[in-house]
Structure 1
C-alpha cells in the first residue's frame, strides 16, 4: 500500500522538486503518471456518455489537466478544454498544449455557454498563494452556480494547501484527487468542506523523500499497527499491573467502562482506586478487578487518598487517572503526585484539566499518554479552542516536541496521535462514538496496550485503531451502547493478530 502522508504546501513542493532535481525524474514523466492515475479514477466516476469540461489554469496544474484530457478524449466524445493564454503557460504546459492541438481536441480560452455533466478543475493546485481575481474568479463562481459535479485535481482551486482557507473564492468539489501526498489544507477549515471525497495517487516519487521529512504527518493505516505479542510462557505480570484512579458518586460508570475495555484488551492485572462511596456499586458490577478503597468527602476523593496512593504506588507498573473524578483540588493533588512518580501514566478526562495546573510536570522522564478532546486540550495548554480547530496538526506536533516523553491522542472528528514531532491521523469518523463513555473505553485500551508493549507510540496507535475498529458495528449509530464497542474488542484483536 502506498504510504499516505499529509504535507504542507511548502513540503509537498520541495518533495516534488527533489524528485526532479535529486532523483533526476523528468517533470513530464511525473505529470504523465499523475494524468494516467487521475484518468483511472475519473473513468470510474464519469460514464462515457456524459459530457466533460476540463478547466486548465496557467501552470503545472493546468498542464496536468491537459495531460488528463489527452488520456480521456478517446473514451469521452463530448469533451471540451478551457485553456489559458499561451504567454501564461508553464513550459510543461506548452508541451502538453501542443499535443492537444495535434490531437484536435476541442478547446477555448473562455468558459463555453454550454453546460456539462462534469467539470474537472485544474485551474490552480498546490502552489496557489494569492487571492483569485478576474477571469478565473468568474469561472469558479460560474461553475459553482451550475451545481454540477466537479472533480478537482490536487486541490480545489482557491483553497490554500496548508491552512485550508479560501483565497478569494474557491471551487466546491465533489471529488479531489490528491497527487503524491495529501495536502494539509484538505483537512482543515474550508478545505474540509470543499474537497468532497478524497483520493490519493502515487506518481512515482521515491517514498524516501517523504520518510526523510523531519516532522512527518501520516494517515494511520493497518501497516502501522503492530499488536503486542502474547507469549505462551508469559504470566499476568508480563502484561502490566495497572492502577486506575477515578470515579465519584455521580460518575462511577466512567471508570467501570475504562476497566472493562482494559481487561478486554489484555491488561495483566487491574486495580481500581476509587472513593468508598462507589466501591459497593463497582463490586456488584464486576469481579475481575481488585478495589483499593479511599475515604470520600461529598461523593469525591477526600485528601486522605493522597496518602493511600503514596503507600500503594510502588505495587503497579502503570497508572491511569481521571475517569469520572470531577474537577477539584484533590484531583489536582492526585495528578501531581502521580506525575512526580516514575510510573508510566495515562491521563484522561478531568486529570487532563488538572495537569494543566502544573503542566511542566509533563516534562518527566517516564512516559505519559494523554487522551484529550479539543476542549480538554484547551484546558491543558491554554490554547483557545478555535486555534486548535484551525490547525490541530500544528498544535499536536508542537505539544509533542515540547513534552518529549508524552504521547498525545487528540480526539476530534479525526484523531491526531503525536509523539516527538511525528503525527498520525486516524480518519475514521463515526457518529456512534459521539456518546458519553467512548473516551473512557479508549483510555482502558491505551492502558492495556501500554502494559503489553514498551513502545509508547505503538501503544497509542494500536489503542486508537482498535477503538475505531471496535466501533464499526452493524447497528444504527444512534443505538450504540458502550458495551457494544467493548464486546467487539476481542473480535478486532483476533482479526488483527491473524
Structure 2
C-alpha cells in the first residue's frame, strides 16, 4: 500500500475524472475491474470465518455490480456456494457479460431477496460511488429486509444508498460491517451520518498513478485525510544532543475555562507529546493550579478572567511575537472574542480550533 494515497479524499465527480484519465491512457475498463475485484476477493477470503460456506452477492446494474460478479466468480471457483441477487433486468454491457458467464457456470441467480436469507455472508455490490437518487420501491424494501436479518455484510466501495460526497442516506442504505473503499477515499467516509452504515473500512489501492490524482486534485488538495503516518511523522520532534528548550520550538496555547479545564489539560498533553521545546499555556487564573499539576514542565500563564471563569484578556506583559506558533480554542468558550482578533494579527503559524472557530463564525470583520 502506498501510504501517500491514504491522504487523498475525493468527490464522486473527481473520482470519475481520475478514472477517465486512466481509461484514456489505455487501461481497459475490463482489466481494471478484474484487478480491483481480485484485490477485494483476496481481502474477503482473509476475513472469512472458516465456517462460512454460502455467500449472497447483491448485484446492481453498473460497474459496482460488475465488481461484485467477478468476486462471486472467484469465490465460486474457490468452492463457496454462491447465490446472486440481481433484481434489475438492464445491466451495463460489461456487468451483463459477467452475469452471463456466471450463469453458464451454474451459479444460482434470483430476483427475489428471500432465498438470500439463508446465506452466511452477504457482499453488497448494488450501487457504488456517484448514486444521487433516493432508493425507493421494491429495492428499498429489499434493503430494509436485508438489514433486518443482521447478517455480516461486506460493501464494495460504499454501502449502497450512501451519497458519495455528503454521506447522506438516500432513502435507505445497506448497513455494512466492513467496507472496501476502492482507489481513493470518498468524502462519505469522513461524514458522521455515514459511519454507522460503513462499519470498519479499508482502502483498496489499485495503483492509480499519482500524476492522475494530482492532475485533478492539485499538488495541495483542499481536503486531505490525516493518516497515522502523517500525524506521527514528526513526533517527537528530533532533538540535537546539544540543544535546549528554546531551540526546539516555542509554542503558546490559549485554552480552557473554569468549566472546561479538561480541554486545556488534553491540549497541553497533546502539545507536550510533540516534543516541543518550550510550551506555554495561557488559561484563566483559577485553573492554573490544575494545569501545573498535570503539566509541571510547561509554563502556565494565569490570565485575568470573567465572572463565568473564562479568559477576559491576556496578561499585558505577554509578548506574542516571541512564539513560533500559537494554538487557540479548546475549552475557551465563545466569550473571549477580542483574544482571537489579537491572535490573528500575530505573524506566526496559528491553529484555531473548537471555540476559536465558533468565535470566528460570529465576527463579521474576521469572516
Q: Which TM bucket (shorter chain)?
A: 0.7 to 0.9
Give the aligned partner of residue 150 of structure 2: 147
The whole-number CA distance in structure 2 between the counterparts of 1:103 and 1:159 is 32
- 1:26 deviates by 0.4
Extract unaligned runs of 5+ from structure 1: 362-380, 382-498
Q: Equivalent residues in 2 for 1:272-283 (5 A)?
A: 272=281
Aligned-pair RMSD on alpha carbons?
3.6
Residue 239 of structure 1 pairs with residue 248 of structure 2: yes
Counterpart CA distance in 2 for 1:121 and 1:284 is 52
Partner residue in 2 for 1:123: 126
Equivalent residues, number? 355
- Deviation at residue 278 of structure 1 after TM alignment: 6.3
Indicate yes or no: 2:107 matched with 1:105.
yes
In the other structure, the counterpart of 2:86 is 83
Q: Deviations over 1:122-153 (max 9, x none)?
A: 22222423233444334323323333222222
C-alpha distance in structure 1 between counterparts of 2:293 and 2:119, whole Å? 66
Q: Residues 294-345 of structure 1: CA distance to partner in whole angstroms, max 9, x if unpaired?
A: 6667566666x56434xx33444444455666654xx333332332232444
Q: Is the 8 A contact 2:183 2:203 kept in 1?
A: yes
Where do 5+ consecutive residues of structure 2 fail to align? Answer: none
Partner of 1:358: 363
SS in 1 for 2:147: helix
Once the 2 structures are TM-superposed, how far is the Cα of residue 101 of structure 1 from its aligned partner?
3.5
Indicate if the aligned counterparts of 1:246 and 1:322 stay in contact, CA closer than 8 A.
Answer: yes
Give matches, 1:339-358, under 5 Å: 339-347=344-352, 351-358=356-363
TM-score (norm 2): 0.79
How far off is 1:92 after superposition?
Answer: 0.7
8 Å contact kept, 2:329–2:354: yes
Equivalent runs, 1:225-264 vs 2, <5 Å: 225-227=232-234, 228-245=237-254, 255=264, 258-259=267-268, 262-263=271-272
User: Do residues 220 (structure 1) and 223 (structure 2) align?
Assistant: no
- 1:257-311 CA-to-partner distances (Å, cap 9, x unmatched) read 65555445333334455666666777787764456666667566666x56434xx
Flag the 1:111–1:250 CA change in 2: closer, same or farther, 3 A: closer
The residue correspondences of 1:60-79 to structure 2 (distance < 5 A) are 60-79=63-82
Counterpart CA distance in 1 for 2:184 and 2:87 is 26
What is the alpha-carbon distance in structure 2 between the residues aligned to residue 111 and residue 297 of structure 1?
Answer: 63
Q: What is the TM-score of this pair, normalised by structure 1?
A: 0.60
Q: Mapping of 1:264-413 within 5 angstroms?
A: 265-272=274-281, 288-290=297-299, 305=314, 307-309=316-318, 312-321=319-328, 328=335, 331-347=336-352, 351-358=356-363, 360-361=365-366
Higher fraction of helix: 1
8 Å CA contact retained: 1:30, 1:204: no
Per-residue CA distance 1:425-479 (angstroms, 9 max, x = gap):
xxxxxxxxxxxxxxxxxxxxxxxxxxxxxxxxxxxxxxxxxxxxxxxxxxxxxxx
1:425 aligned partner: none
